[in-house]
Structure 1
Amino acid sequence: MKYLILGKDGQLAKEFIKTLNKQNKELTALSHSECDISDLDIVIKFFERIKPDVVINCAAYNLVDNAEKEFWKAYNTNSLGVNNLLFASNEFKSFLITYSTDYVFDGTKEDGLYTEEDEPNPINEYGKSKLTGEKWIIDSEYDKYLIFRTSWVYGEGKQNFIYKLTQWAKNNEYLKIAYDEISVPTSTRTIVKVTLKALDNGLTGLYHLTNSGYASRYEWAKKVFEIKGIKKFIKPVSSDIFNFTAKRPKFSAMSNEKLKKTIGIDISYWNHELNTVVGE
């Protein structure tokens, strides 16, 4: 089985590459500079050359605030790019796996975690671009796909909240972290493990893929400092004080129960996973 991984410089792609190499899988990984997925001609060229059995799309535009001003950049990658991969996957009969976000929801749900049955209602351009990519796949006649909505992803590298947090700690006497932004910190290790399990089980469709439980950014930051032994004061504050360009859902935690039950897998709680990954 031949794997094609897009967005190889990102933290999720790096985890896939590491895991699949350990399993001696045949894979090709491409960066944005090598394969800009918004360019259909380039996408087709690589599909013709590689003829992948499985396409794992880790390419994403995730600069949430910038997307408000440069929305076309978000749509080029998160919408048009996904549609190009869908077209090529259909042409070459490849299985397509791509990732969406909890930001497809508006954060107003009050009776539990978001499930796959809840109606999306994104409140920023980033979320809208991801939802458009989802819809183009779901509304097509092609059924060899998996869409996973994830949240607060972290792994190796500098592209996540944990790295930024530790940098802030080096440069500030104390930190201000939002107590009213709530979702699910999710490790790249969990995403890769569950994705490959779902693939092995022949799963198709849209699912929420997160670690279990939920937390505020403040709780997440406190846990990171506890594990790393960082002795800095963190003040819980309202997210409103940061004056972000893009609106963000206050509560976007998603339930992974459907995925767990469907493939019969246990997914660890966010704090246990964090302790394992960061404490290594």
Structure 2
Amino acid sequence: MRYIILGKNGQLGNAFVKKLKNQKKECLALSHKECDISDLNSVLKVFEEYRPDIVINCAAYNLVDKAETDYWNAYKTNALGVRNLSFACKKYSSYLISYSTDYVFDGTKENGLYTEEDLPNPLNEYGKSKLAGEKWLLEENPEKYLIFRTSWVYGEGKQNFIHKLMNWVENNDYLKIAYDEISVPTSTRTIVEVSLKAVDQGLTGLYHLTNTGYASRYEWAKKILQIRGIKKFIHPVSKDVFNLPAKRPDFSAMDNGKISRETKVEIKSWDEELETVLSE
């Protein structure tokens, strides 16, 4: 089986590349410069030359606040890029795996975690661009596809909350972290493991892929510092204090039960997985 990983320099793409190399899989990993997914000709050229069986799209515009004004670039990658990959996968009979976000939801659900049956209603341009990518993928109708909605992804790299938190620890006497923004911290390791299991089983459709449980940003930050043995006062505050350009949902935690049942993978709780990852 021939794999293509798009977005190899991001934390998720990097995790996939390492895993597939360890498994001795035939894998072509490409950066944005090597394949701009918003350019259909660039995509088709790669597909024609490599003829992939499985395409894992980790390319993403994930600057949530910047997307409020730079929305065209967000849509180019998160929506148009996914559409181009879907078109190419249909043309070349490739299996497409693409990633979306909990930010497709508005956070107003009160009677449980978000499931795949809940209707999306994104509050910001980033969430809208990701939802457009989901819809455009389905419009192109590739024979085999997986859409995974993830949340608060962390792994090796700088574009995640843990890296930012460590910078704040170094540069501030105390921290202010939001108590009213709640979702699920999810490791790249979990995403890679479950994604590849789903591919091996030939699953198709939309799934929520997170670690289990949920936490506020404040709880997540406290747990990170506790695991790392760092003593720093954290003041819980409302997220409104930060006056960020992009509106975030209050509660966007998703239920991973569907993918867990279908892959027969018992997905670790967010805090247990965090402890495992940070201790390695």
2:66 counterpart of 1:96: no
Between the aligned partners of 1:117 and 1:140, the Cα distance in structure 2 is 21
Does the residue aligned with 1:139 lie in a helix, a strand or coil?
Answer: helix
The residue number in structure 1 matching 2:210 is 210
Aligned twin of 1:182: 182
Using the TM superposition, give the Cα deviation of residue 210 of structure 1 relative to its aligned residue in structure 2, in angstroms: 0.1
Q: What residue in structure 2 maps to residue 55 of structure 1?
A: 55
**Counterpart code for 2:185:** P
1:202 Cα offset (Å): 1.0
SS in 2 for 1:149: strand
Deviations 1:40-73 (A, max 9, x none): 0000000111100000000000111111101101
Residue in structure 2 matched with residue 199 of structure 1 by the alignment: 199
Report the CA distance between 1:159 and its aligned residue: 1.2
| Alignment of 1:41 onto 2:41 | yes
The code of the aligned residue for 1:152 comes to W
Secondary structure of the corresponding residue to residue 140 of structure 2: coil
Match of 2:278 in 1: 278
Partners in 2 of 1:157 and 1:263 — Cα distance?
Answer: 28
Which residue in 2 is equivalent to 1:157? 157
Kindly state the Cα deviation for residue 250 of structure 1 after the two structures are TM-superposed.
Answer: 0.7
Contact 2:90 2:140 in 1 (8 A): no
Q: What TM-score results when the alignment is normalised by the length of structure 1?
A: 0.99
Task: Note the alpha carbon deviations across 1:149-206, whole angstroms, 9 max, x for none.
Answer: 0000000111100000001100111000000000000000000000000011110000
Q: 1:141: Cα distance to partner? A: 3.2
**2:38 & 2:133 partners in 1: Cα distance?**
12
Contact 2:83 2:140 in 1 (8 A): no
**TM-score, length of structure 2 as denominator length:** 0.99
Q: How does 1:1-280 map to 2 (within 5 A)?
A: 1-280=1-280
Structure 2 residues not aligned, in runs of 5+:
none
Kindly state the Cα deviation for residue 142 of structure 1 after the two structures are TM-superposed. Answer: 2.4
Unaligned runs of 5+ in 1: none
For 1:188, give the aligned amino acid: T
CA RMSD, Structure 1 to Structure 2 (Å): 0.7
For 1:31 and 1:140, locate their aligned partners in 2 and report how far apart those are by CA, in whole Å. Answer: 24
Identity across matched positions, percent:
69
CA distance in 1, matches of 2:265, 2:43: 34
Return the offset for 1:260: 0.9
Q: Secondary structure at the match of 1:177?
A: strand
Structure 1 distance, partners of 2:56, 2:202, is 15
Cα distance between partner residues in 2 of 1:259 and 1:150: 12
Partner of 1:107, secondary structure, is coil
Q: What is the letter of the counterpart of residue 216 of structure 1?
A: S
Superimposed CA distance per residue, residues 103-147 of structure 1 (whole angstroms, 9 cap, x where no aligned partner): 000000000000000000001000000000101122333231000
Amino acid of the residue matched to residue 214 of structure 2?
A: Y
Alignment coverage as a number of residue pairs: 280
TM-aligned CA deviation for residue 264 of structure 1: 1.2
What one-letter code is carried by the residue in structure 1 that aligns with 2:268?
S
CA distance in 2, matches of 1:93, 1:203: 15
Q: Distance in 1 between matches of 2:222 and 2:163?
A: 14
Q: Distance in 2 between matches of 1:71 and 1:157?
A: 24
Give the AA of the match of 1:245: P
Query: 1 CA distance for matches of 2:96 and 2:69?
Result: 30
Distance 1:6 1:209 in 2: 19
Shift of 1:279: 1.5
Distance 2:106 2:269 in 1: 24
Q: Which runs of 4+ in 1 moved over 4 A?
A: none
